[in-house]
Amino acid sequence: MLLVSSRAGAAPGGALAPEEMLDASQSRAFRAWMVRIVDQQIAAGPSNRWVHRDCAGLVRYAVHETLREHDAAWRRATGISAPAPPPLQLSDHQRALRNRWQRADGSRAAYVGALELVQENTTLVSRGIEQAQPGDLLFFDQGYDQHLMIWAGRYVAYHTGYADARDNGLRAVAPQELLKWKDSRWHPVPDNPNFLGVFRLRFLAR
């Protein structure tokens, strides 16, 4: 069973600079935009801007687009129009985080898989979902594979990692429905050894 520490992200040289951290107000706006972008993917299907279509790819895409400038050209390209969340005012250092995921070797890159995404870029919040905030990640370890879901408040969103002409691989499931799944490995509860908990992007205010 994979172990993830309560300070996932404590890699040598991997600490975020103070100017990269979002304050409480920015974090609230970030969460609202991230959920809005995920909502759009569920409602309209995967954007052509989303390249790596799997569970970690959905997280990277949502974070990348959330940290971009949401100007008129961006809205046309993404199909996201009013009503929209409040403006997300970020510095250049903060916007650059969209292409600067921490890797296990201490470097930064635009791509990380599910395991590095959680271990090097998040902090454990809880083993249950009661403390989850929109934009937090649910992390499952099935031994042979790891899987991420995004907590969107009313539902959890994820990509199955498989898609074809009939199925784009995107799913939105209410938490109460998730708890009814016969395969208990996917239940987001503390007594499920396959559920490692709720994790928060470490550049967000706690």
Q: Give the closest residue to 170 by CA, choosing from 153, 189, 185, 156.
A: 156
| pTM listed for this prediction | 0.92
Host H or E run for residue 7 = none
- Predicted confidence at residue 203, as pLDDT, reads 97
List of residues 6+ apart from 99 with CB closer than 8 A: 64, 109, 110
Q: What is the DSSP letter of 202?
A: T
Q: Which residue has the tokens 């395991």?
A: 115
Q: Give the closest residue to 117 by CA, choosing from 103, 100, 99, 134.
A: 103
Count of other CB atoms within 10 angstroms of residue 157: 22
Helices marked H in the chain: 24-44, 55-66, 72-78, 92-95, 114-121, 175-178
- Predicted confidence at residue 10, as pLDDT, reads 37
What are the pLDDT tens digits along the chain (206 aa)?
454 544 443 333 467 999 999 999 999 999 999 999 999 999 999 998 888 889 999 999 999 999 999 999 999 999 888 788 999 999 999 999 999 999 999 999 999 999 999 999 999 999 999 999 999 999 999 888 899 999 999 999 999 988 888 999 999 999 999 999 999 999 999 999 999 999 999 999 98
Q: How far apart are CA 43 and CA 115, in angstroms?
A: 27
Q: What is the DSSP letter of 182?
A: S
CA atoms within 13 A on the CB side of 35: 18
Whether the upstream peptide bond of residue 83 has omega within 30° of 0, thus cis, is yes
List of residues 6+ apart from 112 with CB closer than 8 A: 56, 60, 101, 102, 103, 120, 121
